[in-house]
Every structure is written in C-alpha cells, then in structure tokens.
Structure 1
Amino acid sequence: MNKLSFWAAVIAIVISISTFIYVNPSSKQVYVDVNKLIDGYKRTKVVRADFEKKAKTLNANVDSLMGDWQNELKIYEKERSKMSTKELELKQELLGNKQQQINNYQQAIQKQIQEEDKKATQTIVNDINDYVKEYGKKHKYTIILGASGSGNIMYANEDADLTKVVLEGLNTEFEGK
C-alpha cells in the first residue's frame, strides 16, 4: 500500500504542475537591465546635472576658503621675520585653527555631496521601481527580475528582456509630467 500511495502522490504532483502551467500560461518570467534603465532614463540626466551643479558650487566654496588661507600663509611667510615671538605664536595658532576649520568644513561638504548623490540616485531608482511595478501589474507578469550586470541573471532569452520597452514607457511618462 505504501508504494501505491507514493505513486499516487507523484501523479498528483505532476497533474498539479501541468494544471498550473496550462491554466496560467501567461506567468512569464522576464527581466530588465537596471543599469541600462538608469543610464537611458531621461530624468537621470536632469537629476545628475542638478546634482553636479550643486556639487560644483559647494566645492567652489571650499576652494575659495582654501585660497584665502593660502594667501594668509604666504603673507605670514613674508612678514614673519619682522614679528615678535608672541606675534609668531599667535599667527601660527590662528592659521592652524583656520586650516582645521576649513578641513572640517570640507569634510562636511563631502558628506553633504555624498548624501545628495545618494538621494538623487534613490529618486531615480524609486521612479524605475514604481514604473516597473505598474507595468508588471498592467501586463500581468508574475515576476520581473532586475539584472544589474553583477551576475544575478547569468542567462536569459532575449525575448525575456523588457528593458527597451520599459525604458521607452518610463521616458514617455517622465516627459509627460
């Protein structure tokens, strides 16, 4: 009786799988190349241009402060032979403090730039994810995988690549806003 139960279970599993495939033939697995979506998405260019403009401005502020400090250092080097010991110590302390403040400011600016870059990238990724989710629902896909070129999809039939179609729709939606 045990052998009969085993074979009945095997037949039931085969029937279940066949029924699932027959009843749900549209359960296609497809993928998009995330890197191509990010690179080809028109909003990426807009967001990156805004980010680069802001980063350039912030870095220019640091460069300006550094230039001022270097000019003060040159003046100090020229005039230090005329200064008293007390004046030398005071000027060195002032220059050292100013350099430390500039370094701290530069680190804060770099951190701000990194956070702005992360925020800009996340905005783009959120747009893409939202669009792909709605696209998948609309076209009744069971799953849409995201390939990033780092090995998470080693092979897929080209027919399963929705990147071009999704990118066109994403850009059309962006331009319509």
Structure 2
Amino acid sequence: MNKLSFWAAVIAIVISISTFLYVNSSSKQVYVDVNKLIDGYKRTKVVRADFEKKAKTLNANVDSLMGDWQNELKIYEKERSKMSTKELELKQELLGNKQQQINNYQQAVQKQIQEEDKKATQTVVNDINDFVKEYGENNGYELIFGASGSGNIMYASKGADLTDDILKGLNKEFDGK
C-alpha cells in the first residue's frame, strides 16, 4: 500500500507541476487597435500627404479641361445665332465629343485616384502587419488580435492592449529609416 500511495503522490505532483507550467507558459491574449495604429503611425501621414498631392494634381487637370470646354460652350452660345445649320450641327457634335472625352478622362482619373489610395493604404497596413508579426515573435506572443472598432473584440482589459507599445516601436522604426 505504501508503494501505491508513493506513486499516486508522485503522479499528483507531476500533474500539478505540469499544470502549473502549462498555465504559466501559455501566452496572454492581447490585441491592438488597428485604427489607432493607422492614425498614429507617422508614415500614414506622409503617405496620405503624397496621395492628396497626386489627387489634387489629377483633379486640377480635369478641372482645367472642364473650364476650357465651358468657355467653348459660352462662345458657341454667343455666336450660334450667326452660324448656319451645318455649322451648328458640326459645333454641337464637336462640343458633345469633347464633353464625352472629358467625362471619360474624369472617370479614368477617379479610378486612378482610387487605386492610388488603395495602394497607399496597403503600404501602411503591410508595414503595420510586418511590425506586429515581428513584435509578437520577439516578445513570445502566440496570438495578437486586431480590433477595428467593428465589434470583433467586445471587451479586453487595458493590460491586454498593446497598441501604444506597438505604435511607439513602429514610429521609432519609421524615424530610423
């Protein structure tokens, strides 16, 4: 009986130690506020400024073309009473074609602006994802959730929020480049 109680005690101790080690070795569940990271990341401001500059230039080109077309339309309206039927038809066709070309160009510009915005945003998101992955690996986290304010994390204690630490490291890395 003594041998049996001895082995039962050994097994109980091994189970207790294993449970203790498992509980202490398992990582905490942590998260970052993705929106706060994107807004607070210094590169986001740089990328947005570059994007806005490009968009402003592209829109200025469209505005210039539209202004020229409107001036031609005003001239046409002033002079149309002096034009023959054939001249009226030709001028109307020319103005209509020019307006269609401007509309097509404007649509192409809007598509380009959307693509540039998507590309700029993806650049920032890739930076953040790469940094968070490296941070998680270097600090022994198995899992880092990303909260975006849309309900995927309904509650987390303040201690589980790594956002400020990640943001500091991200900006420090960006400033070093």
Task: Compute the TM-score of the two structures, normalised by the length of structure 1.
Answer: 0.88
User: Which has the greater radius of gyration?
Assistant: 2
Matching residue's letter, 1:95:
L
The CA RMSD measured in Å over matched residues stands at 1.5
In structure 2, how many angstroms separate the alpha carbons of the residues matched to 1:44 and 1:52? Answer: 12
1:50 aligns with 2:47: no
Report how far residue 24 of structure 1 moved. 5.5
**Which residue type is aligned with residue 22 of structure 2?**
V
Instruction: Output the amino acid matched with 2:142.
Output: T
Offset, 1:33: 0.1
Could you report, residue by residue, the CA deviation over 1:20-72 in whole angstroms, capped at 9, with x for unpaired residues? Answer: 66335241110000000000000000000000000000000000000000000
Which residue does 1:175 correspond to in 2? 175
Count, aligned residues: 162
Aligned to 1:80: 80
Q: Which residue of 2 aligns with 1:25?
A: 24
Q: Do residues 71 (structure 1) and 65 (structure 2) align? A: no
The alignment partner of 1:142 has SS state of coil
What's the counterpart of residue 150 of structure 1?
Answer: 150
Q: Which residue of 1 aligns with 2:34?
A: 34
> Percent identical across equivalent pairs?
83
Question: Helix, strand or coil for the counterpart of 1:63?
Answer: helix
C-alpha separation between the residues in 1 aligned to 2:19 and 2:58?
58
Q: TM-score, normalised by structure 2?
A: 0.88
- Any idea what SS the aligned residue of 1:104 has? helix
SS in 1 for 2:119: helix
**In structure 2, what residue type is equivalent to 1:47?**
V
**Whole-angstrom CA distance in 2 between matches of 1:20 and 1:72:** 83
Amino acid aligned to 2:117: D
Measure the CA separation in 1 of the matches of 2:165 and 2:33. 11
Cα separation, 2, equivalents of 1:113 and 1:31: 32
Q: CA deviation at 1:19?
A: 3.9
Instruction: State the secondary structure of the residue aligned to 1:146.
Output: strand
- CA distances 1:104-128 after superposition (whole Å, capped 9, x unpaired): 0000000000000000000000000
Q: Does 1:165 align with 2:165?
A: yes
Aligned partners of 1:99, 1:48: CA distance in 2, in Å? 31
Task: Supply the AA of the counterpart residue of 1:164.
Answer: D
